[in-house]
A and B are shown apart, each in its own frame.
Chain A
């Protein structure tokens, strides 16, 4: 284990986080909010710690698989620990555990909140909350790779550990260029969304904050009623479209930019994803038609909610708690499915579902015809058996984490629905659940222990479980 290299990389991450926090500081200064001092103190602490950690340059620059995982896990934990400081220092979230939960929820693009009254927060704080979504969506370390030089060949292990999906590759030969291209697409889409929201008459601050939260598929709203507060069909449409856009594999956009439209549209994962969205929306629309009266009215709420849940954003425009059980079950299913690999969304990822469905078919065929040789293909390319194996192990680990967390949360003594959906929503980085934590609820009533467990769930969900579990594995720390 190359400890020096790990510490220096973590130092870089903290310094970058400090720079990004300056944006929130500027907003606080602009609105003349007294909480700007909290940002200034937090930035100072991060710069100091970051500089000390990065002071001595590591001699041997090798990053292996192990270091990649450790750097990513600790980077996320540290970012959340330091990112929570402004909330705590300013006293706007008095409990540090609460502030930590809120920040983890931000970086992991979950969007679950412990705040009973969001609108009471200062604007600088609101922007920082949304900004954590934006940073966490594409990844802190991918950002570091994009802006800092000195990326070596082995940095791919960092990107692998941070980017979601069963297969992580580069889109161009240089890892730094890859990271820069991804961020360029990300920034461009975010800006377009801001403009679309402004056209709909949303105030500038709201547009920026909401666009940041949508881009990361996070879902921190700046109103207590989430997007329902704006009550505009146009704005809801913009959100629906952009939530879906941000949950499609960014490689598709790269292909589009390069004029390879045919290949981009052929993306198998995207087609499955949009298929699921279409079918779910249609089913919920029909199921709710009596409650909303007209088809269009029902479609407006169904499409927004489906897109919000499957993209793991978690904005709401209606209290779906009152929907029929069939519609609610569809939403819970979508929570598990999640977005496409290589996007900013969470969940299990469409490509994993495709691989698993295909291997089930293959297994059935193998039981009938034991000598069958069948290769599973994704995007027209054969999937390596290691990937298929990794996917099934991932799902098993996922279920194990789910059940253990469920057991701990059940100590709270809440009802079954609240207990189970709280874990589902955190592990899949969505935001709202059902029951106490439904569209109108929040996580304020959970105990400290539960908040820590749920925070861990969110990190596991975002980093796809293994990096976080791995740091508890003693063999990683032994000298080679």
Chain B
């Protein structure tokens, strides 16, 4: 597809990198010459320097023949204007990053009247993600597939866990649960496990299944799953605002610690059920006074990555059940991985993933559709959800008779309202939704899972 990306910032760059790697024709627009030069020198794309919302710049970038324009500059107004201009010039679809709640609340208007195909609010997306994790506190990460019925949960196997040193065969015999362990990260390697695979302490495993099944499994294997009742949020930015609103809605107690007094007042005006504390969240005394050792979860959302990591580490040392840190710079991910932080959240990655998922789904207007796409295990594997088209070659053949590509797993089939954990004799039928876990990135169609030739 021909894709024009406006704004070569963090999200823009991540998008351009991924889209060009997937073989799309990408044009990047940014007003800074040096940034565009750098991108053009390192990636197979062309760049246009100028204001992305101007007509002449957009025509130069070939927007009239573009299938998609993604506006990801730091300014909401500019992004919306970019999309409006692009739509008039002739771009088929437009995506805007809009983070100001004043605008993003009128999603329906933006989508229907201004014809934006997708509006994404990075902070809201991040808050959603954190909220999901807090509801599954035992998980490192939780992703939901269409309909919210099936979930993909990442867990860590600890030394005292009953999962330690158990093969997947035994696990199934012992607990008879309807879940599937679909990917295991051990050190730097990723495995798509078979039945004889033996779990070890330190492994990070990914499980698919329905929410009740996963909960049962967690209880059976003896991972304590205390509910999170109280949460302390450090840093009162936009993510904190969205998160507090969601949590208050589901009856959790929330306390926000924010340094800036004016922001505290704003927050307390809009968040009635939330306790707002004016203080320095990286100060040990403040945290002790506010009862960090009594709270169930600590979410560090200040603007400084390093501070967030340190707060999360400190909270973990105080036996807080769940710690989450926001880290914006992807360079830090690998450094943090082996530290004692339960979950890492990056609004930039979430936004890029979200848009990529949309682009892939858009590309598959024929054949099976990609409904959902998650990058798991540091982008080394993907979990994809496809809708099965009537013409698919996979229909009606028992899974054990399909010749699948290596390192690939059919991890779930949703038919109507029921979720099937696929066994060898199960088949894929038209209109099913199929979850595929694979190390072979860039699957575009369900039929791509088959070994060709």
Residues of A near any B CB (own CB < 8 A): 151-157, 169-170, 172-177, 384
Residues of B near any A CB (own CB < 8 A): 2, 20, 25-27, 33, 40-46
B43 contacts across to A, CB distance below 8 A: 153
Partner of A173, one of B26, B33, B41, B42: B26
Q: List 17 additional A-B contacts (Cβ < 8 Å) besides A173-B20, A173-B25.
A: A151-B44, A152-B44, A153-B42, A153-B44, A155-B44, A156-B44, A169-B46, A170-B46, A172-B46, A173-B44, A173-B45, A173-B46, A174-B25, A174-B44, A176-B44, A177-B25, A384-B33
Interface centre among B2, B20, B33, B42 (most CB of A within 10 A): B42
Report how far A174 CA is from B23 CA in the complex, Å.
9
Smallest Cβ-Cβ distance to B27: which chain A residue: A173
Interface centre among A153, A155, A169, A174 (most CB of B within 10 A): A153
A177 contacts across to B, CB distance below 8 A: 25
Report how far A175 CA is from B20 CA in the complex, Å.
11
- Are B40 and A156 within 8 A (Cβ)? yes
Taking the closest CB of chain A, its distance from the CB of B7, in whole angstroms, is 17
Smallest Cβ-Cβ distance to B24: which chain A residue: A173
B25 contacts across to A, CB distance below 8 A: 172-174, 177
- Are A175 and B41 within 8 A (Cβ)? no
Smallest Cβ-Cβ distance to B43: which chain A residue: A153
Smallest Cβ-Cβ distance to B23: which chain A residue: A174
Smallest Cβ-Cβ distance to B20: which chain A residue: A153
Report how far A232 CA is from B421 CA in the complex, Å.
81
Smallest Cβ-Cβ distance to A384: which chain B residue: B33
Smallest Cβ-Cβ distance to A176: which chain B residue: B44
Report how far A141 CA is from B40 CA in the complex, Å.
19
Given contacts A169-B46, A172-B46, A173-B20, contact A156 B33 (CB under 8 A): no
Smallest Cβ-Cβ distance to A169: which chain B residue: B46
Report how far A55 CA is from B77 CA in the complex, Å.
54
Taking the closest CB of chain B, its distance from the CB of A473, in whole angstroms, is 20
B20 contacts across to A, CB distance below 8 A: 153, 173
A175 contacts across to B, CB distance below 8 A: 44
A173 contacts across to B, CB distance below 8 A: 2, 20, 25-27, 44-46
B45 contacts across to A, CB distance below 8 A: 153, 173
Taking the closest CB of chain B, its distance from the CB of A60, in whole angstroms, is 14
Taking the closest CB of chain A, its distance from the CB of B212, in whole angstroms, is 46
Report how far A151 CA is from B27 CA in the complex, Å.
18
Report how far A384 CA is from B44 CA in the complex, Å.
22
Report how far A226 CA is from B139 CA in the complex, Å.
80
The 21 sampled A-B contact pairs (Cβ below 8 Å) are A151-B44, A152-B44, A153-B20, A153-B41, A153-B42, A153-B45, A154-B41, A156-B44, A157-B41, A169-B46, A170-B46, A172-B25, A173-B2, A173-B25, A173-B27, A173-B44, A173-B45, A173-B46, A174-B25, A175-B44, A384-B33
A151 contacts across to B, CB distance below 8 A: 44
A153 contacts across to B, CB distance below 8 A: 20, 41-45
Taking the closest CB of chain A, its distance from the CB of B49, in whole angstroms, is 9
Smallest Cβ-Cβ distance to B2: which chain A residue: A173
Taking the closest CB of chain B, its distance from the CB of A180, in whole angstroms, is 13
Taking the closest CB of chain B, its distance from the CB of A299, in whole angstroms, is 40
Taking the closest CB of chain A, its distance from the CB of B400, in whole angstroms, is 35
Interface centre among A151, A153, A157, A173 (most CB of B within 10 A): A173
Taking the closest CB of chain A, its distance from the CB of B394, in whole angstroms, is 28
A169 contacts across to B, CB distance below 8 A: 46
Report how far A428 CA is from B52 CA in the complex, Å.
41
B42 contacts across to A, CB distance below 8 A: 153-154
Smallest Cβ-Cβ distance to A381: which chain B residue: B49
Taking the closest CB of chain B, its distance from the CB of A81, in whole angstroms, is 31
Smallest Cβ-Cβ distance to B21: which chain A residue: A153
Report how far A169 CA is from B41 CA in the complex, Å.
10
Taking the closest CB of chain A, its distance from the CB of B189, in whole angstroms, is 18
B44 contacts across to A, CB distance below 8 A: 151-153, 155-156, 173-176
A154 contacts across to B, CB distance below 8 A: 41-42
- Are B26 and A156 within 8 A (Cβ)? no
Report how far A176 CA is from B23 CA in the complex, Å.
11
Smallest Cβ-Cβ distance to A155: which chain B residue: B44
Report how far A177 CA is from B42 CA in the complex, Å.
17
A157 contacts across to B, CB distance below 8 A: 41
A155 contacts across to B, CB distance below 8 A: 44
Report how far A176 CA is from B20 CA in the complex, Å.
13
Report how far A240 CA is from B40 CA in the complex, Å.
38
Taking the closest CB of chain B, its distance from the CB of A122, in whole angstroms, is 43
Interface centre among B20, B25, B44 (most CB of A within 10 A): B44
Smallest Cβ-Cβ distance to A175: which chain B residue: B44
Taking the closest CB of chain B, its distance from the CB of A323, in whole angstroms, is 45
B40 contacts across to A, CB distance below 8 A: 156
Report how far A267 CA is from B33 CA in the complex, Å.
22
Taking the closest CB of chain B, its distance from the CB of A261, in whole angstroms, is 15
Taking the closest CB of chain A, its distance from the CB of B134, in whole angstroms, is 39
Report how far A155 CA is from B41 CA in the complex, Å.
9
Taking the closest CB of chain A, its distance from the CB of B358, in whole angstroms, is 20
Taking the closest CB of chain B, its distance from the CB of A273, in whole angstroms, is 23
Report how far A176 CA is from B33 CA in the complex, Å.
24
A170 contacts across to B, CB distance below 8 A: 46
Smallest Cβ-Cβ distance to B56: which chain A residue: A380
Taking the closest CB of chain B, its distance from the CB of A417, in whole angstroms, is 45
Taking the closest CB of chain A, its distance from the CB of B365, in whole angstroms, is 21
Taking the closest CB of chain B, its distance from the CB of A67, in whole angstroms, is 13
B33 contacts across to A, CB distance below 8 A: 384
Taking the closest CB of chain A, its distance from the CB of B239, in whole angstroms, is 33
Report how far A170 CA is from B43 CA in the complex, Å.
12
Taking the closest CB of chain B, its distance from the CB of A235, in whole angstroms, is 40
Report how far A151 CA is from B21 CA in the complex, Å.
11
